[in-house]
């Protein structure tokens, strides 16, 4: 082969055929690698060896890479124990157990483990046909009604607030109940007591560990004339919310306690935003722990107090001397009585009224027992008050024109054992102000130890419970509170002076009267007594400004519900007496609830933070709403002011789905006061649900006619003033209460991803 150099057999260096160098050719017939050119020489041999070395090195690298991939894949294979764990977690993800408050993956640790194992199994088992469960990316929380014999349709605003707090603690990693005090508005206060977040009795949270974001949308629906004919002004809005989710939740209404999880879940409940006649916004109900000591619901606080009392209770009840010593420490001082407006005698003459001996009063001797006022002749009663009555000064100066009677000189010596009485009165509004309509007095007989969560009522004897005819024309019977009606008082002929005589003759100067805001009762009775225990002061908040209602104290401390309808003076007298006795027995161990302005918990203190400590909570709404509810409190949340519904929607979606996602997005919108308000609401909800992130819990809260109710409440207060010439009729009160109920009852819808 002239001019050619045979290098080697092509079968030996078969890889040389892959080179692209034009100087090398392969003769397929001779199966030899041939170098074109003449002479061959050392240069060609060196070039050939270099290229062969590169090809060999490339083959070795490729082989090594394949080995590494096989080894890596082998390492990534899910062990058998992990595959069992993945199968177990997948089952938990799919099954909703509505008998319990939580089901599925309970913590973020479980969620991260499930995602990790599912991803490894997907990589290592390309040809595996085993179903390992849902796609981890689609994993999200859901919310359901807990299985109960009785279907829950209504809830309190505090229930939703407690559930929000539970989610915030879960997201913030403080589900153990710890509280961050760095955001505390009151620097002198310490937060050693943990705040325990609770799940309401009606809620079942599935996969709570997957929650990464909470979005709250408050919608204020303005009052309109077209809604007055409807049974519920929010009915259209509620039906629309149910329709948004109903097609996807066809299996949610099954009666089985275990069911397959759905792509989206929801709970809709009619919600009471406030109690009584004091108009409150839904923001106040959802955001604040008003008067709560530990952030728990009233029933749970009462249960906690009952546990403490049960531990301190001895095997035998306290003696009378122990209770009397405790009550002595609770008596109001003279300065306190003057400051609070208790009836105080202006002038006490040596031979004047009030300190004369009562043997010559002309009334028959009762032998130390309480004479019923009806048995005292009216003329003798008037003469008694005229002879022994005293002048009492007003709190703001001056004196009352009516004569008061006192139970004896404050300096009078009496070595007898003090008696303890509970006193309560019901008043009606007359043209001359509030006048007595019913009086009840009970006498303490025996202390009863509690055997359970509820405080057992002490044994008492009802000494007096009678109706009294007002002296002036009645403007308002206040039946909802007093239980008094015109029909009830029509046959009554007992007058105030007869009650004054009966009490003044019976009570001794060293007796102890117990009541709640007792200065009002004593002024209604025109009675002066200097040894009183006022439970409104005994259980007053630390700020010395907030007074709690007797109903709240009874529920909080005694775990006893009173005043469920109209007030009953006998029930109130028993409750206030039991409160004082419990305080006298337990002392400082029994504390008052926290006040609205002094030690008030708010959800702002539990706003989640990122790891870097930057704020991760956003509040969106009008400047007025932010000023009233957000900015007065020290917090690290963003406060964004927008007035229009469209601007609020854009800001809310931006913080829910944008690059700067917030863990808590709280938005407050007011629908326009026109016929298109429902259409605006529809568009708002559809846009939000369409872009709702998977790991987000959405709460839609609604309240009707808040501004109108506040205006009507102010007008009612002005008209009921005794100085007003307009007056407030029963027809106006009926219309007002009907409108107030529309504002009091709202609706809350929870949406899961």
**Phi and psi, residue 666, nearest 5°:** -115, 115
Q: Does residue 412 register a pLDDT over 80?
A: no
Band of residue 569 on the pLDDT scale cut at 50, 70, 90: confident
Q: Does residue 203 register a pLDDT over 60?
A: yes
The pLDDT of residue 557: 86
Q: Does residue 121 register a pLDDT over 90?
A: no
Cα dihedral 383, 384, 385, 387 sign: positive
Tens digit of each residue's pLDDT (9 = 90 or more) over 227-247? 555 556 788 899 888 887 644
Cβ pair 555, 422 in contact under 8 A: no
H/E element holding 285? helix 282-287
Query: Beta strand 512-515 with 420-430: parallel, antiparallel or unpaired?
Result: parallel
Lowest mean pLDDT segment, chosen from 133-142, 304-313, 528-537: 304-313
Question: What are the residues whose beta carbons fall under 8 Å from the beta carbon of 447, sequence distance 6 or more?
Answer: 317, 318, 323, 458, 459, 581, 585
What are the DSSP E strand ranges found in 315-449? 405-406, 420-430, 433-446
Cβ pair 508, 414 in contact under 8 A: yes
Q: Where are the alpha helices (H) located in 77-156, listed in sequence order? A: 80-94, 108-124
The pLDDT of residue 612: 56
Tens digit of each residue's pLDDT (9 = 90 or more) over 319-361? 899 999 999 999 999 999 988 889 988 865 443 444 444 555 6
No. of H helices and E strands in the chain?
22, 26
Ramachandran category for residue 426: left, alpha or beta (phi over 0 → left; psi -120 to 50 → alpha): beta
Band of residue 248 on the pLDDT scale cut at 50, 70, 90: very low
Q: Does residue 45 register a pLDDT over 90?
A: no
Q: Where are the alpha helices (H) located in 542-642, listed in sequence order? A: 550-553, 569-586, 623-629
Measured CA distances, 686 to 350, 630, 649, 689 (Å): 82, 27, 11, 5
CB atoms within 10 A of CB 236: 15
The pLDDT of residue 181: 37
Tens digit of each residue's pLDDT (9 = 90 or more) over 68-106? 665 555 555 556 777 788 888 888 888 888 888 888 888
Average pLDDT over residues 463-477: 92
Alpha-carbon radius of gyration of the chain: 40
**Phi and psi, residue 490, nearest 5°:** -55, -45
pLDDT > 70: percent of the chain:
69
The pLDDT of residue 282: 94
Question: What are the residues whose beta carbons fall under 8 Å from the beta carbon of 170, sequence distance 6 or more?
Answer: 208, 209, 211
Q: Does residue 614 register a pLDDT over 90?
A: no
Average pLDDT over residues 304-314: 50
Q: Which residue has the higher pLDDT, 725 or 638?
A: 638
Mean pLDDT for the chain overall: 76
- Tokens 């546990």 locate to 307
The pLDDT of residue 153: 86
Question: What are the residues whose beta carbons fall under 8 Å from the beta carbon of 693, sequence distance 6 or more?
Answer: 212, 213, 656, 657, 661, 753
CB atoms within 10 A of CB 680: 17
Q: Which residue has the higher pLDDT, 602 or 608?
A: 602
């Amino acid at each position: 082969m002239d001019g050619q150099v045979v290098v080697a057999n092509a079968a030996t260096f078969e890889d040389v055929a892959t080179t692209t160098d034009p100087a090398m050719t392969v003769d397929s017939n001779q199966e030899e690698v041939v170098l074109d050119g003449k002479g061959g020489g050392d240069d060609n041999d060196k070039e050939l060896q270099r290229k062969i070395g590169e090809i060999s090195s490339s083959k070795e690298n490729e082989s090594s890479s394949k080995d590494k991939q096989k080894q890596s894949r082998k390492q990534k294979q899910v062990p058998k124990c992990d595959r069992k764990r993945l199968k177990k977690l997948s089952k938990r993800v799919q099954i909703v157990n509505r008998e319990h408050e939580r089901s599925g993956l309970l913590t973020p640790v479980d969620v991260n483990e499930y995602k990790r194992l599912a991803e490894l199994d997907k990589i290592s088992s390309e040809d595996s046909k085993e179903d390992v469960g849902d796609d981890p990316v689609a994993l999200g929380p859901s919310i359901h009604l807990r299985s109960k014999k009785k279907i829950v349709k209504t809830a309190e605003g505090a229930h939703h607030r407690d559930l929000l707090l539970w989610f915030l603690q879960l997201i913030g990693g403080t589900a153990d109940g710890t509280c961050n005090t760095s955001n505390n508005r009151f620097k002198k206060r310490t937060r050693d007591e943990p705040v325990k977040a609770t799940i309401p009795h009606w809620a079942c949270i599935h996969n709570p560990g997957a929650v990464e974001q909470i979005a709250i949308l408050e919608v204020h629906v303005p009052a309109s004339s077209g809604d007055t004919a409807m049974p519920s002004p929010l009915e259209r809005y509620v039906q629309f919310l149910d329709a948004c989710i109903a097609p996807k939740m066809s299996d949610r209404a099954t009666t089985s306690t275990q069911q397959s999880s759905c792509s989206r879940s929801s709970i809709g409940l009619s919600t009471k935003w406030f109690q009584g006649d004091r108009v409150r916004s839904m923001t106040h109900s959802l955001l604040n722990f008003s008067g709560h000591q530990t952030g728990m619901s009233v029933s749970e606080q009462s249960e906690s107090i009952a546990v403490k009392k049960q531990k301190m209770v001895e095997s035998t009840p306290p003696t009378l001397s122990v209770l009397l010593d405790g009550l002595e420490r609770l008596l109001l001082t003279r300065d306190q009585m003057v400051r609070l407006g208790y009836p105080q005698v202006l002038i006490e003459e040596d031979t004047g009224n009030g300190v004369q001996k009562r043997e010559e009063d002309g009334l028959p001797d009762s032998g130390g027992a309480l004479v019923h006022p009806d048995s005292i002749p009216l003329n003798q009663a008037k003469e008694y008050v005229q002879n022994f009555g005293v002048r009492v000064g007003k709190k703001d100066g001056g004196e009352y024109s009516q004569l008061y009677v006192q139970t004896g000189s404050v300096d009078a010596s009496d070595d007898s054992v003090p008696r303890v009485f509970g006193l309560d009165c019901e008043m009606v509004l007359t043209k001359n102000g509030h006048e007595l309509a019913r009086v009840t007095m009970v006498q303490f007989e025996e202390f009863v130890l509690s055997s359970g969560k509820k405080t057992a009522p002490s044994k008492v004897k009802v000494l007096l419970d009678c109706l009294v005819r007002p002296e002036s024309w009645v403007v308002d019977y206040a039946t909802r509170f007093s239980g008094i009606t015109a029909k009830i008082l029509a046959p009554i002929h007992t007058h105030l002076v007869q009650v004054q005589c009966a009490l003044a003759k019976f009570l001794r100067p060293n007796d102890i009267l117990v009541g709640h805001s007792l200065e009002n009762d004593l002024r209604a009775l025109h009675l002066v007594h200097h040894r009183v225990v006022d439970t409104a002061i005994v259980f007053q908040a630390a700020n010395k400004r907030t007074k709690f209602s007797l109903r709240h104290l009874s529920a909080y401390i005694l775990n006893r519900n009173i005043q469920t309808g109209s007030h009953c003076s006998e029930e109130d007298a028993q409750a206030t007496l039991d409160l004082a006795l419990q305080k006298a027995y337990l002392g400082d161990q029994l504390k008052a609830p926290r006040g609205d302005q002094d030690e008030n918990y708010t959800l702002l203190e539990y706003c989640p933070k990122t790891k870097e400590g930057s704020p991760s909570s956003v509040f969106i709404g009008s400047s007025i709403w932010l000023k009233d509810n957000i900015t007065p409190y020290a917090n690290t949340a963003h406060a964004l002011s927008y007035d229009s519904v469209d601007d609020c929607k854009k800001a809310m979606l931006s913080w829910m789905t944008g690059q700067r996602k917030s863990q808590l997005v709280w938005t407050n919108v007011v629908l326009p006061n026109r016929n298109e308000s429902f259409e605006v609401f529809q568009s708002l909800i559809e846009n939000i649900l369409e872009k709702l992130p998977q790991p987000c819990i959405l709460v839609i809260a609604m309240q009707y006619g808040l501004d109108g109710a506040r205006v009507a409440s102010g007008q009612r207060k002005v008209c009921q003033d005794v100085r007003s010439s307009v007056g407030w009729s029963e027809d106006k009160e009926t219309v007002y209460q009907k409108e107030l109920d529309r504002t009091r009852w709202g609706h809350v819808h929870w949406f899961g991803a």
